[in-house]
Amino acid sequence: MVVIEPEPEAEETPRPSSPPAPAPAPASEFPVGVEAARAEGPEDSFEDALTDEQMREKTRIQANDAKTEGNKLFAAGQFGDALSQYEIALQIAAEMESAEDICSACYSNRAVCFLKLGKYEETIKECTKALDLNPSYLKALLRRGEAHEKLEHYDEAIADMRKVIELDPSNEQAKRSLFRLEPLAAEKREKMKEEMIAKLKDLGNSVLGRFGMSVDNFKAVKDPNTGSYSMSFQNNTG
């Protein structure tokens, strides 16, 4: 069982500081009406630019507030409600020009909620979304690896753990997971091989049975020099 830190990602966002008051305009030789007209255009543009910046900061704060509320709900064990808050944060972040950090964290947090709810396929999907935005996101890799293991997708889990070690060679959690997963993957491959052979044997018997034979009448003999196999017929009717 992979031990994952269940705490969702938190992110601190600095509150926007109030812009400094503009310095008074120097006296001008132009008449008052002309001076006001000349000053009006640049001043309005500056205020518009500040408003755009403030709106971007406001949107980021709203997204982070929704994510923080999701973290509180997660800590309280209210995973379904936490999922909804993270989704709200994602919807708000969609209006931002650059929000990969918030979005990847929310996808990863949604993944751990699904993990807690036992919805492992959904966990994998959300982790993959997070990794599409941030391919080196260790927690998303670890969580996806755990979900793969739950579904007995051992080779996929191994791939995620190897990626973690590639990014963080000292990650003991991934090393322990690999130590456990590799024998499980080998065992599963051997089991699948046996099942495939059994199915092929059943198919062969269904065909050979029409001629009074079975696959037991044939024996595979390995050539020690080449490693290839040849088939020999054996009459087992006695």
CATH numbers and ranges of domains, the chain: 47-233 (1.25.40.10)
How many Å apart are CA 121 and CA 124, to the nearest integer?
Answer: 5
Out of 7-11, 44-48, 139-143, the most confident range is 139-143
Query: Is the pLDDT score of 44 beyond 80?
Result: no
Query: Is the pLDDT score of 112 beyond 90?
Result: yes
Q: What are phi and psi of 70, to 5 degrees?
A: -60, -40
Q: What is the pLDDT of residue 228?
A: 72
Mean pLDDT of 21-29: 48
Query: Is the pLDDT score of 36 beyond 50?
Result: no
Q: What is the pLDDT of residue 220?
A: 63
> What proportion of the chain, given as a percentage, has pLDDT over 70?
61
How many Å apart are CA 79 and CA 72, to the nearest integer?
Answer: 10
How many Å apart are CA 162 and CA 130, to the nearest integer?
Answer: 18
Phi/psi region, residue 227 (left: phi>0; alpha: psi -120 to 50; beta: rest), is left
Mean pLDDT of 17-42: 46
Q: What is the pLDDT of residues 161-200, one digit of tens each?
A: 999 999 999 999 999 999 999 988 888 777 766 666 656 6
How many Å apart are CA 111 and CA 162, to the nearest integer?
Answer: 20
Quick check: helix, strand or coil at residue 220? strand
Reported for 144-151, long-range contacts at CB under 8 A and 24+ positions apart, including other chains, are 144/111, 145/2, 145/174, 145/177, 146/1, 146/2, 146/4, 146/115, 147/111, 147/115, 147/120, 147/121, 147/123, 148/120, 148/124, 149/1, 149/2, 149/177, 149/181, 150/120, 151/120, 151/121, 151/124
- Residue count (the chain): 238
Query: Is the pLDDT score of 22 beyond 60?
Result: no
Quick check: helix, strand or coil at residue 105? helix
Q: What is the pLDDT of residue 186?
A: 85
Q: Which has more confidence, 204 or 144?
A: 144
Amino acid at 30: F
The pair of structure tokens assigned to 68 is 């923080």
38-52, 183-197, 216-230: which range is least confident on average?
A: 38-52
Mean pLDDT of 123-142: 97
